[in-house]
Amino acid sequence: MLEEVERWLIERSWSVSDRPLHRILAAKRSSGQTVSVVLPALDEEATVGDIVSVIRHDLVLQVPLVDEVVVIDSGSTDRTSEVAAAAGATVVHRDAILPRLPAVPGKGEVLWRSLLVTRGDIVCFVDADLREFSSDFVTGIVGPLLTDPGLQLVKAMYDRPMTTADGNITGAGAGQGGRVTELMARPLLNMHWPQLAGFVQPLGGEYAARRGLLEQLPFPVGYGVELGMLVDALHLVGLDALAQVDVGVRKHRHQDGQALGRMAAAIYRTAQLRLARAHLLRPSLTQFERAGDAFEPRTYSVDTEERPPMREVAEYQSRKVA
Ligand SMILES: O=c1ccn([C@@H]2O[C@H](COP(=O)(O)OP(=O)(O)O)[C@@H](O)[C@H]2O)c(=O)[nH]1
Ligand SMILES: O=C(O)[C@@H](COP(=O)(O)O)O[C@H]1O[C@H](CO)[C@@H](O)[C@H](O)[C@H]1O
């Protein structure tokens, strides 16, 4: 792991408990900044209502941290919009945003369009398929942007157990979620963008950023949006403007393997489009394990040796002759 990342893990990696709510609210009052929470939602009627209700109760009605909660309907065929509206969200259908550019399917598409229909100086993205959602997810990632003017983007980090459809942790145990993270995103980032190797959940769907940054970034229209945004933000504002906050445990609906294969392909394609920027491959991979109230980095060397084609090996040729 780069020394810069080791330092970053000390200086830009926090827990939600590091910033008490009263300190965050005081910073919001003194800075006058506003906060929008955006939930991209495709057929999330089962979960979107509870998430909106918790955010509204805890962070709109009980304390004035969040100024608007906006659900962007990504082309749902269920009652997502009705359920979200009933819970108190502002609901906007993707087709109603910038109609001169017809919307295409994808998560990034609706995150991008959300910038047109929100007003917050800080924009906080939260997936709409989360279970046992805690408003700590929002407080944790919005807080540093209010208290630390030098920060531009903050990602949540958490344990990601595999869960059943009704939200119970499966026998696979803790840390088995985030399959595309472990199999595609983390290796790609470690080898091509090693400065980002410290992110425990680079693909996590909960992150907050200043509007001034988001409006400068391209948005991959699909599932490449998280990886693309992290890489582009690194290049635009540097590692020290990025941070991560431990908010505990994230339970969400899990897609099947083939769907994640398509997700991985989109993420690889997003990386491929950015790989044109010159940088060195680094043959090391840092993974993380929960250790008490922290995440322990474990760095492994990546075997990059390759054998030549067998037909170039003398013995092989002689064997063929014999
Ligand atoms: O075309 C899409 C795909 C996903 N989503 C939303 O983006 C979030 C993350 O998507 P998903 O849960 O499918 O990703 P996963 O967490 O399984 O990687 C969820 O709120 C989805 O409803 C969306 O708005 N439009
Ligand atoms: O992190 C991951 O590997 C994927 C899949 O998670 P699971 O293996 O279903 O827990 O989930 C994330 O990836 C998507 C692509 O970046 C994000 O859009 C999702 O918000 C996030 O849950």
244-280 residue pLDDT tens: 999 999 999 988 888 898 899 888 888 988 886 554 4
For ligand 2, atom 19, which residue shows the shortest CA distance?
Answer: 205
Q: Which pair of structure tokens corresponds to residue 59?
A: 């962070």
Q: Comparing C-alpha atoms, which of 254, 100, 93, 268 is closest to residue 188?
A: 268
- Please write the tens of the pLDDT for every residue from 274-317: 886 554 455 567 888 899 999 999 887 654 433 445 565 566 55
DSSP string, 262-289: HHHHHHHHHHHHHTTS------EEEEEE
Whether 207 is in the pocket of ligand 2, judged by its Cβ within 6 Å, is no
In the block, residue with structure tokens 């803790």: 174
133 in Cβ contact with 250 (< 8 Å): no
The whole-number pLDDT of residue 171 equals 66
Residue nearest to atom 15 of ligand 2 (CA): 223
3-state class (DSSP) for residue 317: helix
pLDDT at 173: 60
Candidates 35, 38, 219, 245; CA nearest to 154 is 245
Q: Are 186 and 287 in contact (CB under 8 A)?
A: yes
Q: What is the pLDDT of residue 166?
A: 75
Q: Is 58 in the pocket of ligand 2 (CB under 6 A)?
A: no
Our answer on whether the CB atom of 181 is closer than 6 Å to any ligand 2 atom is yes
Q: Is the CB of 73 under 6 A from ligand 2?
A: no
pLDDT by 10s per residue, the chain, length 322:
999 999 999 999 999 999 999 999 999 999 999 999 999 999 999 999 999 999 999 999 999 999 999 999 999 999 999 999 999 999 999 999 988 888 888 999 999 999 999 999 999 999 999 999 999 999 999 999 999 999 999 999 999 988 877 778 776 666 788 999 999 999 999 999 999 999 999 999 999 999 999 988 888 889 999 999 999 999 989 999 999 999 999 999 988 888 898 899 888 888 988 886 554 455 567 888 899 999 999 887 654 433 445 565 566 556 544 4
Long-range contacts of 283-289 (CB under 8 A, 24+ apart): 283/191, 284/1, 284/190, 284/194, 285/186, 285/187, 285/190, 285/191, 285/197, 286/1, 286/5, 286/190, 286/197, 286/198, 287/182, 287/186, 288/200, 289/175
Any atom of ligand 1 within 6 Å of the Cβ of 94: no
Determine the pLDDT at residue 310: 58
Distance 62 CA to ligand 2 centre (A): 31
User: Which residues, 6 or more positions from 225, have their beta carbon under 8 angstroms from its beta carbon?
Assistant: 106, 107, 108, 111, 112, 219, 270
Cα–Cα distance between 293 and 291 in angstroms, integer?
6
Ligand 2 pocket check for 178: Cβ under 6 Å: yes
Instruction: Locate the ligand 2 atom nearest the alpha carbon of residue 260 and give its number.
Output: 5
Query: Closest ligand 1 atom, CA of 255?
Result: 17
pLDDT at 31: 97
pLDDT of residue 184: 97
155 CB near ligand 2 (under 6 Å) = no
Q: Which two tokens stand for residue 227?
A: 């990886």
Specify the DSSP element, H or E, that contains 27: helix 21-31
What pLDDT does 73 receive?
A: 98
Q: How far, in Å, CA of 41 to CA of 268, rounded?
A: 23
- Tell me if 186 CB under 6 Å of ligand 2: no
Ligand nearest to the Cα of 51, by number:
1
Answer for the pair 213, 259: CB distance below 8 angstroms, yes or no: no
Query: How far apart are the two ends of the chain, measured CA to CA in Å?
Result: 49
Q: How far is the CA of 254 from the centre of ligand 2 (A)?
A: 8
Q: Is 110 in the pocket of ligand 1 (CB under 6 A)?
A: yes
Nearest ligand 2 atom to the CA of 266 is 15
127 lines ligand 2 (CB under 6 A): yes
In this prediction, does ipTM exceed 0.90?
Answer: yes
Compute the distance between CA of residue 45 and CA of residue 83 in angstroms, rounded to an integer.
6
| CA atoms of 177 and 273, how far apart (whole Å) | 26
- With a 6 A CB cut-off, is 159 part of the ligand 2 pocket? no
Q: How far is the CA of 271 from the centre of ligand 1 (A)?
A: 19
